[in-house]
Amino acid sequence: MKLGLIGAGQRGMIYAEYAYNSKRADIIAVVEPDDKRRKAAADKFNIPLERQFKSVKEFYQLGKICDAIIIASMDRDHYEQTMDGLELGYDILLEKPISPSPLECVKIQEKAHEKKCHVIVCHVLRYTNFFAEIKKIIDSNELGKVVTIQHNENVGNYHIAHSFVRGNWRRSDLASPLIMQKSCHDMDILTWLVNSNAKRISSYGDLRYFKEENAPMDSSDRCLTCKAAKECRFDVRKAYLPVIGQWPATVISQDQTEEGLLKALETSPYGRCVYRCDNDVCDNQVSLIEFENGVTVSFNLSGFTNRMCRTIKIMCENGEIRGDDGLNIIEVTHFAPNAVGGYEQRVIHPGSVEGGHGGGDTGLMEDFLDMLESKGEDSRSSIDRSVESHIMAYAAEEARVTGKTIEIQGFKEQLKDAVLK
């Protein structure tokens, strides 16, 4: 099987490396504007010079030369690259979000159906043993029907500073709103767990902390020249030097030495003061969701957490489920008849799988390759399922900005009307 890679950043390389190392596919072409990343991918996958491209236009001019392509470029490049790829007849593994525009998401969905091509969106949580185990418990009905859910996306204070204050996803006009970029995963998993589409959404949040008014006295624009760096937990030397060779240091530079990182941080966006960046995405957001089957959800997305994990509490008719995917633990409790009696509880540690996102990256790639080899079987993360969760995230952001509760059916109808115009 032959695959092409568009976007040789961190996520694109993870997907391509899995396919390559599995011996089930060869990576025969790479598109990457950054010279160093393009060369690193070409060296890794033994891609000849004539199949190394700086622009996707050069690659597509060759026609369809692969069985499928992986698109893991920046959010705002997804639409054109995906539409042109579908026009050539490519099946596509598409990094989330599908697009920062809800209208473009729907157009990609329609184009995929028109061309009879598969677009598999990288919603990796569906493929983790952790969430699969929770889904199994819910579907068994041992606790009765789900009534309400509390779900937390604990972004992690260092993570939000790296990716959403200093990094590529710091501004909505460059990428997409935080709830779309970070939490379309969560909208997807909630829809899957409750087996229903959303009915209405309200949402609240803002950029609370990472702005100039909270900068320490005597601070400067860049950490390496800042007088306040010694007392600041966001100093880049504290953030990146202890994790040389690991994420997020590997994002900063190909040279994973202390000297190489410090040199890169002199000019890199990642070397900037977190209080003096050009970021505008939220650092906290709370959304309230009512599903068509009556289940209600409170979803809390926050950068003000120490750990980077997801925690969930699912309250059912006859018991509750608590889970922490960072600790890989699920507690299943049957309600007691009174305050003094005992209650039945079991603790589950789902089997671990190699790969990022708790094995979700591995499961996603296995599903994608299986789908390609079977030539037509549906995927767990199809374009239709993924558009549904993206619409939820868009609606949540509109609710946050406008202060209104968004009716999902009306939101969908507006999108369909816009497509027809």
Q: Do the first three CATH levels of 2-123+362-382 and 126-210+280-356+386-420 match, i.e. the same topology?
A: no
The H or E element containing residue 53 is: strand 52-53
Q: Are 245 and 251 in contact (CB under 8 A)?
A: no
* Residue 157, helix vs strand vs coil: helix
Residues 6+ apart with CB under 8 A from 46: none
pLDDT at 6 over 70: yes
Classify domain 126-210+280-356+386-420 at the CATH superfamily level: Dihydrodipicolinate Reductase; domain 2 (3.30.360.10)
pLDDT at 391 over 80: yes
Kindly report the average pLDDT of the chain as a whole number. Answer: 94
pLDDT at 360: 80
The H or E element containing residue 31 is: strand 26-31
pLDDT at 28 over 80: yes
CATH classification for the domain delimited by 2-123+362-382, as one of 3.20.20.330, 3.40.50.720, 3.30.365.10, 3.40.50.300: 3.40.50.720
Higher pLDDT, 374 or 272: 272
pLDDT at 342: 81
Domain extents for the chain?
2-123+362-382, 126-210+280-356+386-420, 212-271
pLDDT at 227 over 80: yes
pLDDT at 335 over 70: yes
pLDDT at 277: 97
Which residue type sits at 385?
R
Share of the chain above pLDDT 70, in %: 98
Give the mean model confidence (pLDDT) for residues 247-256: 92
pLDDT at 98 over 70: yes
Instruction: State pLDDT tens for residues 295-323.
Output: 999 999 999 999 999 999 999 999 999 99
pLDDT at 33 over 80: yes
Give the end-to-end CA distance of the chain in Å, rounded to a whole number.
Answer: 39
Confidence of residue 377 (pLDDT cuts 50, 70, 90): low
8-state DSSP, 59: H
Residue found by looking up tokens 């959800």 in the block: 297
